[in-house]
Structure 1
Amino acid sequence: MARISIDLHQCFRDGRKIDAALEGAIDDACAKHIATVEIIHGKGSGQLKKRVLRFLQRPDIRARYHRVEKDSRNHGRLFVHFRH
């Protein structure tokens, strides 16, 4: 199973970089027919996770993926699943 992994620790203070990184990962997954994108946002205060979830709920982004799974063993990451 192919997977793209994106770590947001480096750009957690810059909203434009976060959006660009997320959009790039979703574009790659759609273009290359990859089933899962792993987003590592870290545990922290939860603000970055909230931002990622808000981004994923945008109507233009929501139409591109199938579902979001919160990792039960590691609260610092999310999985975005695609149907191609």
Structure 2
Amino acid sequence: MDISKMDKYIAPVQFSSLPALTILLCGIGLFLLASFTMLQVTSTKYNRNLVKEILMAATSSVFLGFGSVFLLLWVGIYV
């Protein structure tokens, strides 16, 4: 196996777009987290909807998770 004949690895996301992706994904995740928190604070036990709460929490965690990964890549911690 000759290393000089191998293809060079190209990252699927360009380094120049990491700051924008980080800010966008973390911003959406924080917005959903804030709306989930307001939903929990303002609702009573009679008008809660479990499916809505789970979907909102899961969506928020996905956006914050991907935003955190791009944040780590942006600062140079390669995961």
Normalising by the residue count of structure 1, what TM-score does the alignment of the two structures yield? 0.30
Going by fraction, where is strand more abundant, 1 or 2?
1
Greater Cα radius of gyration, structure 1 or 2? 2
* Structure with bigger RCO (C-alpha 8 Å, 6+ apart): 2
- Higher helix proportion (structure 1 or 2): 2
